[in-house]
Amino acid sequence: MEEFFENELAQRFEQMIEEGEHLYFDSGEIEDIIIYYLELGDISYAHMAVKYGLSIHPSSLEIKIKQFEVLLEQEDYTTARALMEELRESSMESTDYLVCCAKYYSNLGNPRRAIEYCQLALATEEEENFLHNFMGDEYVNLGDPFNALKHYQNALKADPQDDYALENTMLCYQDLKKPSEALAFLDTYLDEFPFSETAWHEHGQFHFNSKNYEQAIRSFDYLIAINSSAVGVYANKAACYEALGQFAKAIEVYQEMLELEYTKAFTYYKIGLCYKELKKLPQALGAFQKAVIEDPQFYLALMEQSYLYEELGAMREALHFASEAALLNAGNLDYQKRLAFLYIDAGRFEESLRCLQTLVREEPQRFYNWYAYTEVLMLVGEFEKALEVLIEALRLHSRAELYYQLGHCYHQLKAPAKGVQALEKALELDASLIQDMESKYPYIQSAVLKTKSKKK
């Protein structure tokens, strides 16, 4: 009823603003209107309500404290500080004022001062759960999980079913590297609150992280028994079966999950991966296709289809789906590498060059990007461009392979002296590559003989 009443007040206030009227609201009503807008996240209307409230009740401490809160939301810290000083003498026993002071210092990156104001607010014996959570967060900001843990646990004492405090308690135990204490805490908590979904989730996640997958499954089963529509829990349970290598059971869980979901693409994708692990390629392909039907832009499923078609020997389809995936995720360099390989395999060298050019631009530190790029440039007869790229590559990578390529370029561009010079450098760096390089660049054999005769 209170929520309805606040909405009704807000409707009256908005109607007044729209119609340009001036209605009377008592200070308590104005405060409720401001709270409503703050909770809604509508700061502009909260600001209007503060301004209108102060025009009617210019001396109201409660409205001024709400003004302080609105100023913090607007990040107007200069005005907020002035108001904080103005209210200090009259408001030091107000929990709301002290919380605003704590927020002010927290927002400005001074967690110790924020904690001091929270401690003062605790003396009012109001909002204990909120204040302990606030202090826990500030100790986390200070990198002090020990004190953070104490306050999150105090928050749980004030409200034993506070999921936020429970989750952060477990994070503190994790940061403190105290797994046995964390598990003992959870077990005790579950003895008292056996229907806590958050606690069972934490219990399952704890065992999953400890690689105790069987126990994790039991924990997730408890959670499903409490709330069979908790979709995410099925994914956690399936992940346990995957970790155990029991992919058929994982598929069964994912299929249960499909019945509860509105968006099924990722679940079909996971089913496809499980079938792939079981070497059931047609079923895997079917699952990936269903994922793409659910979400045509799901590039992960498109690329998995590419891998499967390659494994099945259907290279044309492998190239098609890799191209579609790379188009949807152009920044993924692994996709660019795969696409380049498939273009080369298909003899479509010109198209592979676009991918390889992207790779040398984005990953110049990787030698093999340059090596592949120049190799394909030479394959299509672009020796001048290959020479230009090789000179740039050699500034970053003094590798024998690049000098062998450089020698080949000079040979093709009728600059034999430079070719021999490059070949000599290549042999100096790694002569063991000579047989492989001779099979690629036949000119090398005669050039090596000339080099040896010069030395004689």
Task: Tell me which residue of 335, 315, 317 sits closest to 327, measured CA to CA.
Answer: 335
**Using CA atoms, how far apart are residues 367 and 218, in angstroms rounded to an integer?**
49
Domain edges within the chain: 1-75, 92-177
What band does 4 get if pLDDT is binned at 50, 70 and 90? very low
> Does residue 2 surpass a pLDDT of 90?
no
Q: What is the pTM of this model?
A: 0.82
Residue 425 tokens, joined: 């450098």
Q: Which long-range contacts (CB under 8 A, 24 or more apart) does 102-108 make?
A: 102/134, 103/69, 103/72, 104/72, 104/77, 104/80, 106/134, 106/137, 106/138, 106/141, 107/72, 107/75, 107/77, 108/77
**Using CA atoms, how far apart are residues 428 and 418, in angstroms rounded to an integer?**
15
Write out pLDDT tens, residues 166-175. Answer: 999 999 999 9
Burial class (CB in 10 A: 0-12, 13-18, 19+), 65: buried
Tell me if residue 348 falls in helix, strand or coil. Answer: coil
Give per-residue burial for 218-251: e unless 16+ CB within 10 Å, then b: bbbebbbeeeeebbebbbbbbbbbbeeebbebbb
Superfamily of the domain at 92-177: Tetratricopeptide repeat domain (1.25.40.10)
Write out pLDDT tens, residues 87-127. Answer: 999 999 999 999 999 999 999 999 999 999 999 999 988 99
pLDDT the model gives residue 449:
62
Contact 295, 265 (CB under 8 A): yes
**Using CA atoms, how far apart are residues 11 and 4, in angstroms rounded to an integer?**
10
**Using CA atoms, how far apart are residues 101 and 29, in angstroms rounded to an integer?**
24
Write out pLDDT tens, residues 12-63. Answer: 888 898 888 888 889 999 999 999 999 899 999 999 999 999 999 998 999 9
